[in-house]
Protein backbone atom coordinates (compact mmCIF):
# COMPACT_ATOMS: atom_id res chain seq x y z
CA UNK A 1 0.00 0.00 0.00
CA UNK A 2 1.41 3.36 -1.06
CA UNK A 3 1.05 5.83 1.81
CA UNK A 4 1.24 9.54 0.98
CA UNK A 5 1.89 11.73 3.99
CA UNK A 6 0.11 15.06 3.64
CA UNK A 7 1.20 17.91 5.88
CA UNK A 8 1.63 21.66 6.12
CA UNK A 9 1.57 24.45 8.66
CA UNK A 10 -1.59 25.72 10.31
CA UNK A 11 -3.88 27.43 7.80
CA UNK A 12 -2.02 25.98 4.80
CA UNK A 13 -5.01 24.12 3.35
CA UNK A 14 -4.35 20.51 4.41
CA UNK A 15 -8.04 19.83 5.00
CA UNK A 16 -9.10 21.24 1.63
CA UNK A 17 -6.46 19.09 -0.08
CA UNK A 18 -7.40 15.92 1.80
CA UNK A 19 -11.10 16.54 1.10
CA UNK A 20 -10.27 16.70 -2.62
CA UNK A 21 -8.39 13.37 -2.47
CA UNK A 22 -11.33 11.84 -0.59
CA UNK A 23 -13.61 12.84 -3.48
CA UNK A 24 -11.29 10.86 -5.77
CA UNK A 25 -12.14 7.80 -3.63
CA UNK A 26 -8.79 7.76 -1.85
CA UNK A 27 -8.80 6.55 1.74
CA UNK A 28 -7.94 9.36 4.17
CA UNK A 29 -6.41 8.71 7.57
CA UNK A 30 -6.72 11.92 9.60
CA UNK A 31 -4.34 12.00 12.56
CA UNK A 32 -6.43 14.70 14.26
CA UNK A 33 -9.30 12.18 14.33
CA UNK A 34 -6.99 9.44 15.64
CA UNK A 35 -5.69 11.82 18.32
CA UNK A 36 -9.23 12.22 19.65
CA UNK A 37 -9.84 8.46 19.55
CA UNK A 38 -6.76 7.54 21.59
CA UNK A 39 -7.82 9.81 24.49
CA UNK A 40 -11.44 8.67 24.66
CA UNK A 41 -13.04 8.09 28.07
CA UNK A 42 -11.24 5.42 30.14
CA UNK A 43 -8.58 4.87 27.46
CA UNK A 44 -5.04 3.93 28.57
CA UNK A 45 -3.64 7.15 27.05
CA UNK A 46 -6.15 9.28 28.96
CA UNK A 47 -5.21 7.54 32.21
CA UNK A 48 -1.54 8.31 31.50
CA UNK A 49 -2.39 11.98 30.84
CA UNK A 50 -4.14 12.16 34.23
CA UNK A 51 -1.07 10.65 35.89
CA UNK A 52 1.20 13.17 34.15
CA UNK A 53 -0.87 16.33 34.64
CA UNK A 54 -3.46 15.68 37.35
CA UNK A 55 -7.20 15.17 37.71
CA UNK A 56 -7.93 18.70 36.46
CA UNK A 57 -7.55 17.50 32.84
CA UNK A 58 -10.74 15.43 33.21
CA UNK A 59 -14.20 16.95 32.90
CA UNK A 60 -17.14 15.92 35.10
CA UNK A 61 -18.32 13.56 32.32
CA UNK A 62 -15.00 11.72 32.32
CA UNK A 63 -13.80 13.18 29.01
CA UNK A 64 -10.55 15.04 28.41
CA UNK A 65 -10.82 18.79 29.01
CA UNK A 66 -9.15 19.79 25.75
CA UNK A 67 -9.54 23.52 26.28
CA UNK A 68 -7.92 23.46 29.73
CA UNK A 69 -5.08 21.24 28.53
CA UNK A 70 -4.51 23.38 25.43
CA UNK A 71 -4.31 26.54 27.57
CA UNK A 72 -1.91 24.83 29.97
CA UNK A 73 0.37 23.75 27.13
CA UNK A 74 0.24 27.28 25.74
CA UNK A 75 1.95 28.55 28.92
CA UNK A 76 4.03 25.42 29.65
CA UNK A 77 5.83 24.41 26.40
CA UNK A 78 7.52 21.38 28.03
CA UNK A 79 4.06 19.93 28.67
CA UNK A 80 3.58 19.44 24.93
CA UNK A 81 6.51 17.02 24.82
CA UNK A 82 5.06 15.07 27.74
CA UNK A 83 1.67 14.88 26.03
CA UNK A 84 3.20 13.79 22.72
CA UNK A 85 5.24 11.06 24.42
CA UNK A 86 1.96 9.64 25.71
CA UNK A 87 -0.24 10.01 22.66
CA UNK A 88 2.09 9.59 19.67
CA UNK A 89 2.82 5.84 20.09
CA UNK A 90 -0.93 5.13 20.37
CA UNK A 91 -1.70 7.33 17.35
CA UNK A 92 1.01 5.66 15.28
CA UNK A 93 -0.32 2.18 16.13
CA UNK A 94 -3.84 3.20 15.14
CA UNK A 95 -2.59 4.79 11.90
CA UNK A 96 -0.67 1.61 11.02
CA UNK A 97 -3.80 -0.46 11.64
CA UNK A 98 -5.87 1.75 9.30
CA UNK A 99 -3.16 1.66 6.61
CA UNK A 100 -3.19 -2.15 6.74
CA UNK A 101 -6.98 -2.15 6.33
CA UNK A 102 -7.10 0.38 3.44
CA UNK A 103 -8.40 -0.99 0.13
CA UNK A 104 -8.04 2.02 -2.21
CA UNK A 105 -5.24 2.42 -4.77
CA UNK A 106 -3.23 4.38 -2.21
CA UNK A 107 -4.02 6.18 1.01
CA UNK A 108 -3.35 9.62 2.44
CA UNK A 109 -2.10 10.12 5.99
CA UNK A 110 -2.93 13.69 7.02
CA UNK A 111 -0.99 15.07 10.00
CA UNK A 112 0.05 18.58 11.09
CA UNK A 113 3.12 17.09 12.87
CA UNK A 114 3.87 14.42 10.27
CA UNK A 115 7.55 15.28 10.00
CA UNK A 116 8.24 15.65 13.72
CA UNK A 117 9.17 12.67 15.87
CA UNK A 118 12.28 11.42 14.07
CA UNK A 119 12.66 7.66 13.58
CA UNK A 120 9.55 6.89 15.63
CA UNK A 121 7.36 9.50 13.93
CA UNK A 122 4.53 9.16 11.46
CA UNK A 123 6.81 10.01 8.54
CA UNK A 124 8.23 6.48 8.75
CA UNK A 125 4.84 5.08 7.68
CA UNK A 126 4.92 7.05 4.40
CA UNK A 127 6.62 6.52 1.04
CA UNK A 128 5.80 9.99 -0.30
CA UNK A 129 5.57 13.36 1.47
CA UNK A 130 3.26 16.05 0.09
CA UNK A 131 3.50 19.49 1.68
CA UNK A 132 0.76 22.08 1.24
CA UNK A 133 2.53 25.40 1.62
CA UNK A 134 1.44 28.99 2.03
CA UNK A 135 2.99 32.18 3.37
CA UNK A 136 2.77 33.24 7.01
CA UNK A 137 0.27 36.01 6.30
CA UNK A 138 -2.18 33.51 4.80
CA UNK A 139 -1.61 31.08 7.66
CA UNK A 140 -2.55 33.62 10.31
CA UNK A 141 -5.48 35.02 8.31
CA UNK A 142 -7.04 31.63 7.53
CA UNK A 143 -6.51 30.18 11.00
CA UNK A 144 -7.98 33.23 12.72
CA UNK A 145 -11.06 33.15 10.49
CA UNK A 146 -11.51 29.39 10.92
CA UNK A 147 -10.76 28.89 14.60
CA UNK A 148 -11.41 32.37 16.06
CA UNK A 149 -7.96 32.24 17.63
CA UNK A 150 -5.78 35.24 18.36
CA UNK A 151 -2.64 35.95 16.36
CA UNK A 152 -0.63 35.12 19.50
CA UNK A 153 -2.27 31.69 19.80
CA UNK A 154 -1.74 30.94 16.12
CA UNK A 155 1.90 32.04 16.34
CA UNK A 156 2.39 29.69 19.32
CA UNK A 157 1.04 26.77 17.27
CA UNK A 158 3.34 27.71 14.39
CA UNK A 159 6.29 27.81 16.80
CA UNK A 160 5.52 24.20 17.85
CA UNK A 161 5.60 23.06 14.22
CA UNK A 162 8.63 22.73 11.97
CA UNK A 163 9.69 25.88 10.19
CA UNK A 164 8.60 26.22 6.57
CA UNK A 165 12.19 25.68 5.46
CA UNK A 166 12.53 22.43 7.47
CA UNK A 167 9.19 21.18 6.18
CA UNK A 168 9.93 21.93 2.54
CA UNK A 169 13.34 20.24 2.75
CA UNK A 170 11.63 16.92 3.56
CA UNK A 171 8.94 17.12 0.87
CA UNK A 172 8.78 14.96 -2.25
CA UNK A 173 6.19 17.37 -3.66
CA UNK A 174 5.17 20.89 -2.64
CA UNK A 175 1.86 22.49 -3.59
CA UNK A 176 1.75 26.24 -3.02
CA UNK A 177 -1.71 27.28 -1.87
CA UNK A 178 -1.85 31.06 -2.03
CA UNK A 179 -4.83 31.29 -4.39
CA UNK A 180 -8.34 29.90 -4.79
CA UNK A 181 -9.58 26.40 -4.05
CA UNK A 182 -9.93 25.79 -7.79
CA UNK A 183 -6.25 26.63 -8.24
CA UNK A 184 -5.34 24.25 -5.41
CA UNK A 185 -7.40 21.42 -6.92
CA UNK A 186 -5.83 21.96 -10.35
CA UNK A 187 -2.39 21.36 -8.81
CA UNK A 188 -3.56 18.16 -7.11
CA UNK A 189 -4.86 16.48 -10.29
CA UNK A 190 -1.42 15.57 -11.76
CA UNK A 191 -0.22 14.44 -8.32
CA UNK A 192 -3.18 12.10 -8.01
CA UNK A 193 -2.33 10.59 -11.40
CA UNK A 194 1.31 10.23 -10.36
CA UNK A 195 0.34 8.47 -7.11
CA UNK A 196 -1.99 6.09 -8.98
CA UNK A 197 0.90 5.09 -11.23
CA UNK A 198 3.37 4.83 -8.36
CA UNK A 199 0.93 2.73 -6.29
CA UNK A 200 1.22 -0.11 -8.80
CA UNK A 201 4.73 -0.73 -7.46
CA UNK A 202 3.41 -1.41 -3.95
- The annotated binding site for ATP is made up of 11-16
- Report the binding-site residues: 11-16
Secondary structure E strands in the chain: 2-7, 27-30, 106-110, 128-133, 173-176
- 32 to each of 28, 55, 112, 165, 169, how far by Cα in Å? 12, 23, 8, 23, 24
Q: Is the dihedral of CA 142, 132, 161, 47 positive or negative?
A: positive
Amino acid sequence: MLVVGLTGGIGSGKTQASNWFAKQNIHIIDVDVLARQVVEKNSPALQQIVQAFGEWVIQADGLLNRKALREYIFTHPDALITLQNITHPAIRALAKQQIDQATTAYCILVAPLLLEGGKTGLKQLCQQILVIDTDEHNQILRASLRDKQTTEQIQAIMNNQLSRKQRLQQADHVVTNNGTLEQLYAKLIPLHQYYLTLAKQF
